[in-house]
Structure 1
């Protein structure tokens, strides 16, 4: 068993938590609401995963980076951790740009958001 992917996900969680703490964006601003939102979004995504597994859209893939611990057929233990990180990351990024709109306006003013012509 290899725990590399799970360890990487936990490291990403820690990094996101440091950014969150530095700017007081999500957990350090409204901890109960943030946890509820992350759990709710993760639950919805797990439901969609369950549906996709049932329809054979998602199948068990083998990787040396997975722990080998399965919560259900085709559902590794890393999946809910990833889905939680996805929800938390979304909240942090949205909150950052919502609280710091100048970052977006500077990018618009300098043309950095426009593609190459």
Structure 2
């Protein structure tokens, strides 16, 4: 049962990959740029977490659904996957909103042209 949280995080990341692939929202639109953005976001949030841990703001709670492997004091391995998921989710949502707004704008343009 100690792998459940990591498994759910990986499954969620897998769902984001499928959505990204289907609509070419982030990695499947520009893999190089996406890797940079994700890497920078992940590094930022890891530094944020390490700062919070250093200031005794963040701490690791005990739960039976986690592996129990820590990368640093109070930094479980699952946190890296969670932060990666958070970055990926944010960018996929940004891509999805951009896609919807672009399509809505194109439809509006076509309707205005048809009226002329």
- TM-score, length of structure 2 as denominator length: 0.85
Q: Are the equivalent residues in 2 in contact too, given 1:70–1:77 (CA < 8 A)? A: yes
Higher Rg of the two aligned structures: 2
Cα gap change, 1:97 to 1:81, in 2 (>3 Å) = same
* Greater per-residue helix proportion: 2
The alpha-carbon deviation at position 35 of structure 1 amounts to 1.0
**Contact 1:70 1:76 (C-alpha < 8 Å) held by counterparts:** yes
Question: How far apart are 1:104 and its partner, in Å?
Answer: 8.1
- Asked if 1:78 is matched to 2:78, the reply is yes
Distance 1:4 1:48, change over 3 A: same
| Gap regions ≥5 residues in structure 2 | 106-116
Q: How many residues align?
A: 105
Q: Which residue of 2 aligns with 1:64?
A: 64
Gaps of 5+ in 1: 106-117
TM-score (normalised: structure 1): 0.84
Runs of 4+ in 1 over 4 A off after TM superposition: 102-105
Where does residue 30 of structure 2 map in the other structure?
A: 30
Measure the CA separation in 2 of the matches of 1:94 and 1:8.
23
